[in-house]
Amino acid sequence: MFKEKVNKLLQSGLEENEHLFLIDFSIDSNQKITITLDGDNGVTVQDCMRISRAIENNLDREEEDFSLEVASCGATSPLKIVRQYIKNIGRNLEVKLQSGLKLEGKLTHADDEKIILEWKAREPKPIGKGKVTVQKKEEIAYNDIVQAKVVIKF
């Protein structure tokens, strides 16, 4: 009952802030509400405060004792939903696959079923000695991905 009420308030808050989207939502046995958000253009402190107020201002502390934490997912947090992949097109990702293989490349495409990574690799020349730089491209289904993170380079 309490979780349903909080979820309804959360969804209402997200509808008013369409650039934000939910990554994680939980309520533990001590009534601690934890919400993790992401946004198409990132998440500001004001965004977190707006969502927090949308929930907190509509719950009665006399009725329910609770704590509330609204946060943005970190820059190095694994990507969890399609909208995060779409938001990060053009950035470099490190992707661990079910096969155990680890790929790193530029995310050039993301849709509801798959992503496409592109990168350059040095490979032996087909004829003769030495190596040549080749452009690689891999289409990866979401269910083949164990974990994907944005690679941050300074």
**pLDDT, tens only, 20-62:** 999 999 999 999 999 999 999 889 999 999 999 999 999 988 8
For the beta sheet containing 67-72, the strands, ordered from the edge strand earlier in sequence to the opposite edge, are 20-27, 32-39, 67-72
Contact at 8 Å (CB) between 91 and 109? no
Q: Which domains does the chain have, with CATH numbers?
A: 2-72 (3.30.300.20), 82-150 (2.30.30.100)
Q: What is the pLDDT of residue 74?
A: 84
**pLDDT, tens only, 52-93:** 999 999 998 888 899 999 999 888 899 999 999 999 999 999
Amino acid at 93: L
Q: pTM surpassing 0.95?
A: no
Contact at 8 Å (CB) between 95 and 102? yes
